[in-house]
Amino acid sequence: MIAIVDYGMGNLRSVEKALAYLGHAARVTSDPDVVVAAERVVLPGVGAFGAAMQRLSAARDGGPALQQAVLDVARSGRPFLGICLGMQLLFTESEEMGHHPGLGLIPGRVRRFDFTGRADGTSLKIPHMGWNSLSLRREVPLFRGLEDGVMVYFVHSYYCLPESPDVVAATADHGGPFCVALWRDNLFATQFHPEKSGAAGLRMLDNFARL
């Protein structure tokens, strides 16, 4: 079973429906015990980094916080996929509306796009929204069956800056190349939304479910 972590922020049902369409059992849950017991875990998310970390770290009905369950699974070797804000939360810290520590699974930080003073600044919108092509940096199980240049769907104002280039799985261009997917061991993450990226996104979700 694939657990989709519900911490109150994200397009949870879209991910669940996409996986169900592909024939994979998935469950939206806010129960840490269910998350820890799952074969695979998806951490989606839309919204502010600081608020997301507060919700993940809050105790539930006197029980353990979701944050520890997420960390336990991520460190267990089981397949783990972060989507959009779920990718950003994997990092050490974010500069979104102040300074906020993240889960610390991937060394690096999350920063806001800034095109101030650029001649092309007026044409580079924030948020970065819509379809953009991927530059696949290496062979990654998540991208099996896809070709370089595949189009995917984005909605975000902040982007990830990993300390090590070795974790970068794909980049896209918005005022310059930036990291939009990562892979390290059992950890996969995408800044774009596979569940909104048509056939290519479904292929990625199917690849993840079959790992």
The DSSP symbol for 161 reads: E
From the list 128, 156, 179, 195, the catalytic residue is 195
Among this protein's residues, is 139 annotated catalytic?
Answer: no
From the list 84, 96, 156, 160, the catalytic residue is 84
Rounded to an integer, what distance in angstroms lies between the CA atom of residue 107 and that of residue 157?
Answer: 20
Among this protein's residues, is 84 annotated catalytic?
Answer: yes
Residue 125 corresponds to which tokens in the numbers above? 């919108």
From the list 100, 128, 174, 193, the catalytic residue is 193
| Total Cβ atoms within 10 A of residue 87 | 28
SS3 assignment, position 184: strand
Count CA atoms closer than 13 A to 48's CA, side-chain side: 10
SS3 assignment, position 85: helix
Residue found under tokens 């849950």? 29
Continuous segment of H or E residues that includes residue 190: strand 187-190
Among this protein's residues, is 96 annotated catalytic?
Answer: no
Active-site positions read 84, 193, 195
